[in-house]
Structure 1
Amino acid sequence: MDEAITVGKHRRKVKLQPVDLARLLALLVFGFLMISPFILILSISFDRTANVTLPYPPRFLPAHPSLFNYRLIFQNGGLLQAYVNSFIVAVASVIVKVSSALLAGYAFSKGKFKGKRVIFLVFLATLMVPVESRLISLYLMWNHVHLINTFWPLILPNMIDAFLVFLAKQFFDELPDSFREAAQIDGAGEFRTFLKVYLPLAGPITATMAILSFMWSWNDFLWPLIVLTSTKLHTIPLYMASFTLQNGESYAGMTMAALALGSIPVLILFIFLQKYVIRSVALSGLKGE
């Protein structure tokens, strides 16, 4: 008992060292620099005069706060439809992309077949091919099957994502092969082993891939701009771009208000799943060592 009291007193006497204070100050500064663009977005969105002229120098608090820009966004009537379109595309993309990445990652990690390493390296090499170099061929292909101006060109190409497959493989590499061997001894097939043994353990990496997939799909602009010609099918990024005038200028206040509203789903998803993201990094082979 006396030893516990002594330890408690020693703990209360511990003070932050100058090095710790310097690190804390550096983290606060970098954290503020990271979040400052979001603060400016909110500030401009609440500035009634931002559609006429941007405040200069930039300020973190609007001179005359107002909900004027948000009222204009809701009166415009296109925000709700853009939300629905983005949700359809993003949720379908997450399901398709994460499912295929988990299956492929398990196959490259635990599967036994000839040329596995070479195939995986070729698969990773596709990451070096810019998306822009494939846009023309992709457009011609989807136009040939008459699926332009539909959501299918935004969903089906997401079935293959080399980066997510790499993440899944790295995670499954950390899980012991003895699980697979035990399941096979019990008579389980390969797919059942994946479904019943490894998939329940893949919650952290699944959440990480879901966040990344949702964010990429939600924020995608160039490819939807090419394949979606109807304004009724526009996603959130295309809806925000609609506030740009023909002379290149934009309604900054309305654009920032739409941007703030469009960022809410991604923020909510990250808040609820962030613990799984941290756990997946700790358990995968991406640890900073």
Structure 2
Amino acid sequence: AYLFGELGMRHSKLPHGQRGGGHVNVRDFAGLKEGTPEFEKAFHDYLCQARRHLSERGWLAGMDCYIFDEPDRERIEVVRRCAAIIRRAIPEVRIFPACAHNTRSLIGILNAWCPPTAYFGLPTGDFRPERIAEGRKRGETFWWYNQADNCLGAPVITHRALPWASWNAGVAGYFVWTINNWGGGAFPWATSLELGEAMALYPGKSGPVDSIRWEQTREGLEDYDYLMMLENAVEKGNMPAPLSQRGRTALERARRLLPDPRCLIAASPREMLDIRAEIGEILDQTAPRPE
């Protein structure tokens, strides 16, 4: 209720949906080992009850199942078995692992994918362009995630550029595993993990303190809204012809800004701001005027 009601969030992880990670053991459920009939029955029964509760509260559409974190080859079969149980119990939920390899056996079982940006759209591999196109035809959702470009050592432009790259690639979401992995030390930013990748907010005396990276990501998300608003306005075709052409030109400039999501640093800050200003002017002219 707090997440969807008070905070207004649109998505949340399905409780107990994650069954493990590439660097940890596969998780039991209620003390039962995965792969046993007892596990399958108990997990399925829980999921059916969860579906009923989420549906009654109106939260089912916002549930996503982050089923496994970066599964290695040996654990792909665990993902396949658990995903099949979840699909039977809650067919509406989006099920995805964060992974880039060994996913062929999961086609037809998963309905969402979340590879790293570095593997998205490569000419070879599990997420080559034709594979992505086939998945979209099946109605599958594509998200992605990134690590290195979240860190303190990355140029500031990369944090703002990622939403632009997301729009250009047509991905529906960006997955971040945490933004406040503070730990218990006096200086929680002193280790390699906390140098940005797991921390966009810092612990302050009276509450979280944001970072430049956090603010630049916010700017990038607002840019994303601008891009989507203009794209939708152009596609509807209810703009005057000169303004529509101006909008198409702005969108083409935006696509050329970041043709490769693996090279966010290549984005020109000046060009980005110019495009943002141009889109703002176009949208302003399409907005209804008060009588």
TM-score, with structure 1 as normaliser: 0.23
* Larger fraction in helix: 1
Does 1 or 2 have the higher relative contact order (CA < 8 Å, sep 6+)?
A: 1
TM-score, with structure 2 as normaliser: 0.23
Q: Which has the larger radius of gyration?
A: 1
* Larger fraction in strand: 2
